[in-house]
Amino acid sequence: MVNGGMVNLTGYIVLLPLIGFLVNGIFGKKINSEKISGVIGSGVVGISFVLAGLIFYEMTGAPVEARSHVIPLFHWIAAGSFSVDAAYQVDQLSILMTLIITGVGFLIHVYSIGYMHGDSGFWRFFAYLNLFIFMMLNLVLASNFLLMFLGWEGVGLCSFLLIGFWHDRTFDTGGYAAGTATTADAAKKAFVVNRIGDFGFLVAMFMIFTFFGSLNFSEVFLRAPAMFQKGDTAVFWITLLLFLGATGKSAQIPLFVWLPDAMAGPTPVSALIHAATMVTAGVYMVARCSILYALAPATMTIVAVAGLATAVLAATIGLVQNDIKKVLAYSTVSQLGYMFLGLGVGGFAAGIFHVMTHAFFKALLFLGAGSVIHAMHEEQNIQNMGGLKSKLPVTAKTFTIAAFAIAGIPPLSGFFSKDEILWKAFSQGSVVYWVVGWITAGLTAFYMFRLVNLTFEGEERYPSSVHPHESPKLMTIPLIVLAVLSVGGGFLGIPESLGGGNAIEHWLQPVFERAEVYSAPVLEGSRSTEYLLMALSVAVAIAGIYYARTIYLRRPEKAAAIASSYRGIYKLLWNKYFVDEVYDASVVRPTMRISDKLLWKGVDAGLIDGIVNGSARLVSWLSSHLRKIQTGVAQSYALVFVIGILVILGILVLR
Amino acid sequence: MTEIPLHYYLLLSAILFSIGVAGVLLRRNAIIVFMSIELMLNSVNLTLVAFSAFMGNSTGQVLVFFVMAVAAAEAAVGLAIVIALFRNKQTVNIDEMNILKW
């Protein structure tokens, strides 16, 4: 153990959720008490949060250079020159992520006690959630790529388990192929798509080991600038493959298709895993490897462009979706795109800042949506809602706060983080990045307030047999806490131009300083530009909110009119750009066909089984003939003796 | 009186032996097959005795006694088997005795 202090408790932060998982997983069914399972499940995460808070507090008191620790636990793998320790790296970045994960995680656990009330798999749900927290903490606290990969795969597994939690339910896939699929299908899709990304992560890890002979972050990142020139092919491929991993986990183009379907899982899962924490793993990973990315400007451009394209694509799809969770899912994809845009232009701290604020307001939005779905008895179509404001006052208020936050209205948190990214995109990227990001901000405001207005405002469009009611306190208190965070979270990152200290950027600066050497310099003397851009982004957000209000509240008939006058575009968006269909036709079905005709019926059934069964058949064919020699008639055996003797004699005589 | 040359004995012995072999292979009556085996044994005895006489060495004649003793024992056992088979199958036709294979 290194220098004493709270930081030595890091192991317990990670261990507690594992204990919760084991207790609930093994004894949960026997305990058979929602209260005990819920308290254990939430309690362990709560304690982890407190421990993380203590470590954070200790770190704030320490001098900057003493804030980064590596806590070794045990030798994990040692094989020849390959050696990996199970060790946790506690520094400014990982402690921030730990606080987000355990903090938001704790609130969502508490909420789940109310939301999952009466579910037959209550204990199983909490076991999975705890396992998820354990894996996610491994991911962010790992001090080497392999342990990170363990967490990476682990969260993928938990995501799979939780999407398919109600494995017998069906859901609407939406769009053109509006068939229903089972949640197990959605889980499978998420898993398979993530495997493609994981493949990239793995290959990148192999390459890193080949070059550095080590997988430790400290060693790899320290030696990277000496190992590679800026723009080397090797570092380009390493970072690109890592980014492929990130696109899988963080739902970016081209691998974003699993996330909307993942909404088939219980809503707290969508909030925790598919909005606040797991999907930001890719952002975290890129930020963690910032020095490698800084050495590969080509990858940085790809990251920025992919992020931007995802942001705008998902935002446009979100405009027309009618499922409350689908809108939020596309919004998540879009916001993750923003984060990658921030990373791609070198604004690593800005990206992480948005991870944090997004965790607050998106978790709040999802939990609010869960509260609505709960109240409406599993109804998710916003066209069948409306006017819920009076019935669900707490949910409506907190949801609206979150919507304002995500739309980027100052001084809520989303404004600061999104604006930081847009400013980085402008000052360190290009004007095009900013313009597209700016338009997306307007779209975001529009679809969020379309959602708010259709759900909570206007006339009641649900059948009179439904009597919506506000959720219990267990569910509303987390909403209120998250609402406070959504409002206040941004104050950690008030830019200097607005008189703030940009505390979060300063906090993270030691982690990124070596990477930022390679970034484009910030424009000088541009404060007035910064104010102008801020004003423009606030303006576009207000415009988006205003149009959403006009169209969906004052003149509801206008929505249909717009949809019919832009029929082509509407259809394209409604069908989500046919991405699923294109993937289905270009990847899924060919793969299935190759697997079916070639790999299964050809190679497996034909070749492998052919060799195995063929050799058996050959032997049995040969013996079926050979066994005729064995007549059982002693005289024919005697005849063979005689022939044999004659042959031997013949040889002896004629020789 | 001229002595009968050795190869006469050997030729007779070979003919007897071949008759024995043919009998074993071709006849279907177990008793006859049995007798053919005895014929083969005795043709060998004849060879042994002939060689013994011509070489002035008595070892061959001693061996013949052994063969006769064994043949007597074998005759006892063999006939007992034939009787046992006959009791089971009511026949001594060896074509009927093919249960050695599965």
pLDDT digits (tens, 9 = 90+) for A105-139: 999 999 999 999 888 889 999 999 999 999 999 99
What is the extent of the structural domain holding A647? 581-654
Q: What contacts B19, CB < 8 A, 6 or more positions away?
A: B36, B39
Residues A546 and A619 in one domain: no
Using a CB-CB cut-off of 8 Å, the residues of chain B touching A627 are 101
CB-CB under 8 Å, A639 with B98:
no
Find the helix packing angle between A348-375 and A393-407, rounded to 10°: 150
Ordered alpha helix ranges (H), B6-58: 6-26, 30-55
Provide the pLDDT confidence category of residue B4 given band limits of 50, 70 and 90: confident
Residues A417, A354: contact at Cβ < 8 Å?
yes
Looking at the complex, report in whole angstroms how far the Cα of residue A610 sits from the nearest Cα belonging to chain B.
Answer: 30
Contact predicate A412/A401, CB 8 Å: yes
The Cα–Cα gap between B102 and B93 comes to 20
What is the 3 state secondary structure string of A178-241? CCEEEHHHHHHHHHHHHHHHHHHHHHHHHHHHHHHCCCEHHHHHHHHHHHCCCCCHHHHHHHHH
Of the residues A574, A609, A630, the one at which a domain ends: A574
Same domain for A124 and A233, yes or no, is no
Q: What is the pLDDT of residues B73-85, one digit of tens each?
A: 999 999 999 999 8
- CB contact set of A228 (below 8 Å; sequence gap of 6+): A234, A235, A295
CB neighbours (10 Å) of residue A32? 11
| Chain B touched by A626 (CB under 8 Å) | no
CB contact under 8 A, A631 and B33: no
B21–A contact, CB cutoff 8 A:
yes
Residue tagged 């080949």 (tokens): A210
* Cα distance between the two ends of chain A: 88
The structural domains of chain B, with segments of one domain joined by +, span: 6-91
B22 lies within 8 A of chain A by CB: no
User: Is B97 in the A-facing interface, judged by CB distances under 8 Å?
Assistant: yes
**Which amino acid is it at A601?**
K
Residue A525: predicted pLDDT? 57
Q: Which residues of A touch B94 (CB under 8 A)?
A: 633-635
A547 and A650 share one domain = no
φ and ψ at residue A344, rounded to 5 degrees: -65, -30
Answer whether A653 touches B (CB < 8 Å): no
Instruction: Please answer whether residues B79 and B35 qualify as being in contact, where contact means their C-beta atoms are separated by less than 8 angstroms.
Output: no
Instruction: Return the closest-CA partner of residue A308 out of A425, A189, A138.
Output: A425
Instruction: Report helix, strand or coil for A4.
Output: coil
Burial class (CB in 10 A: 0-12, 13-18, 19+), A6: middle
Residues 56-95 on B with a CB inside 8 Å of A are 94-95
Cα-Cα-Cα-Cα torsion B54, B59, B65, B70, nearest 10 degrees, comes to -120
Question: Strand A170-172 and strand A82-90: pairing?
Answer: unpaired
CA dist A394 and A646 (Å) reads 108
**Is 70 exceeded by the pLDDT of residue B67?**
yes
- A549 and A515, same structural domain? yes
State whether B100 and A632 contact (CB < 8 Å): yes
Q: Does residue A150 sit in the same domain as residue A276? A: no
Alpha-carbon distance values, A407 to A166, A361, A412, A529 (Å): 32, 10, 9, 21
A166, A183 contact by CB (below 8 A): yes
Which chain A residue has its CA at the smallest distance from B33's CA? A635
| Same domain, yes or no: A473 and A421 | yes
Under DSSP, is residue A80 helix (H, G, I), strand (E, B) or coil?
A: coil
Q: Do A642 and B100 touch (CB under 8 A)?
A: no
Q: Are residues A87 and A197 in the same domain?
A: no
Q: Does B95 contact A639 at a Cβ distance shorter than 8 Å?
A: no
Count of beta carbons in the 10 Å neighbourhood of residue A222: 14
Overall number of domains in chain A:
3
Comparing C-alpha atoms, which of B3, B4, B7, B12 is closest to residue B39?
B12
Spans in chain A with pLDDT lower than 50:
1-2
CB proximity A642 to B under 8 Å: yes
Q: B75 and B37 in contact (C-beta within 8 Å)? A: no
Give B22→chain A minimum CA distance, Å. Answer: 9
Q: Which of B17, B18, B19, B25 to mutate to test the interface with A (most CBs of A within 10 A)?
A: B25
Question: ipTM of the assembly?
Answer: 0.80
Parallel/antiparallel/unpaired status of strands A69-79 and A82-90 = antiparallel
Q: How many Å is the Cα radius of gyration of chain A?
A: 30
Q: Are residues A388 and A314 in the same domain?
A: yes
Q: Among all residues of chain A, which has the CA nearest to that of B99?
A: A632
CB burial readout A396-420, b (16+ within 10 A) else e: bbbbbbbbbbbbbbbebbbbbbbbb
- CA-based nearest distance B26→chain A, Å: 8
Q: Which fold has domain B6-91?
A: Helix Hairpins (1.10.287)
Residues of A in contact with B101 (CB under 8 A): 627, 630-632
| Residues A559, A617 within the same domain | no
- Give the Cα-Cα-Cα angle A522, A527, A533 (nearest 5 degrees): 90
C-alpha to C-alpha distance for A250 and A437, rounded to whole angstroms: 18
C-alpha to C-alpha distance for B5 and B54, rounded to whole angstroms: 9
Interface test with B, best of A627, A633, A641 (most B CBs within 10 A): A633
Q: Do B101 and A631 touch (CB under 8 A)?
A: yes
Q: Which residues have a Cβ under 8 Å from the Cβ of A407 and sit 6 or more positions away?
A: A414, A441, A444, A445, A448, A449, A541, A544, A545
**Domain-terminating residue out of A163, A178, A202:** A163
